[in-house]
Amino acid sequence: MDLNVIWFILIAVLFTGYFVLEGFDLGVGILLPFVARTDLRRRVVINTIGPHWDGNEVWLITAGGAMFAAFPHWYATVFSGFYLPLFLILIGLILRGAALEFRSKDEAPLWRSIWDWAIFAGSLIPALLWGVAFADFILGVPVNAAMTIEGGFIDLVQPLALLGGVVSLLIIMLHGAVFLSLKTTEPLAADARRWAARLWLPALIALALFVGLTLTLTDVVAGLQVPPVVVIGLAVAAVVALLVAGLFILRRRDGRAFIALVATILLAVATIFVALFPRVLVSNLDPAFSLTIANAASSPATLKIMSIVALILVPVVLAYQGWSYWIFRRRVLEKSDGLHY
């Protein structure tokens, strides 16, 4: 296994970590105005992600940095061709971060309501657009021989890519609802379970529809560089994992439902990256124009230096995040005199 393959796998792992950890953060932010009606309960909801949301975003920063250093042509093509959606994602993340920090600076109801809806919008935009972007990666975009994307934003908004955005939005909301049921007490936990029960079936239908339409109405399978049975198996396993998550939700097994949702996200992201390999961005103009781990990569010397740095720093990041989740592992309790862990 050469360094190009190793860094492709590492970037896949970083994005997987981001969607698993930041997924419930975004889901909690989207549900904030609906699952909690009083100011105290909204503070409880925000405090469930308060110790983690900024640390979870490190996974995205690291994934972007790894793309830039390991596969600069991939980074340049994506960040130029997907400029508008990525700019909107960045604005959403900035808005959400600012809202989480500024909400508690004033007790005025209007002030807090404005920032609550800012948290909602700043969570909704990335949850939707990440699904559109990753669906475009495997469906193909108009990449030409010069490794640039022709056309504009409208060329990226394919019907199936939009469906991919709906899938990511629903699964992220479901992930957030189940996380809230684990991190809060009654009656807020019961409200979170009701939202999870409402979201589960639409998410399952949307995911199954996206998988079915992608496999039957596109040439994704024909362009695979790995045995099609592997990709089809991973995609079907993701649907099954979401089905299992729904069964646990209906039985009020919150912990098992959360694990099944994590498995769903792991399998979904694995499906995308396995379907891409050894490509990193598919061209729908000509398969020869697709970016691969060979033509988009940095020099071998750069990859060697990066590998040494990653071996030193990645375990530190993992240890810190594991420690923070352990410290704040208890439920956030809603009491008349404030919040308690």
Residues of the domain holding 133: 3-340
Span 312-316, mean pLDDT?
86
User: Beta partners for 333?
Assistant: 340
DSSP for residue 7: H
**CA 221, CA 226: separation in Å to the nearest integer?**
9
Q: Positive or negative CA dihedral for 52, 239, 218, 296?
A: positive
Which run of H or of E encompasses 153? none
**CA 124, CA 127: separation in Å to the nearest integer?**
5
Q: Mean pLDDT score of the chain, rounded to an integer?
A: 90
Span 134-161, mean pLDDT?
87
Residue 292 has pLDDT above 70, yes or no: yes
Domain count, the chain: 1
Q: 318 or 72: which carries more pLDDT confidence?
A: 72
Residue 218 has pLDDT above 50, yes or no: yes
Residue 117 has pLDDT above 60, yes or no: yes
Q: What six digits make up the tokens of 28? A: 């909690």
pLDDT band at 331 (very low <50, low <70, confident <90, very high): confident
Picking from 122-136, 155-169, 282-296, 311-325, which range would have the lowest pLDDT averaged per residue? 311-325
Residue 151 has pLDDT above 80, yes or no: no
pLDDT of residue 16: 94
Q: Which of 44-48, 219-223, 244-248, 306-310 has the highest mean pLDDT?
A: 244-248
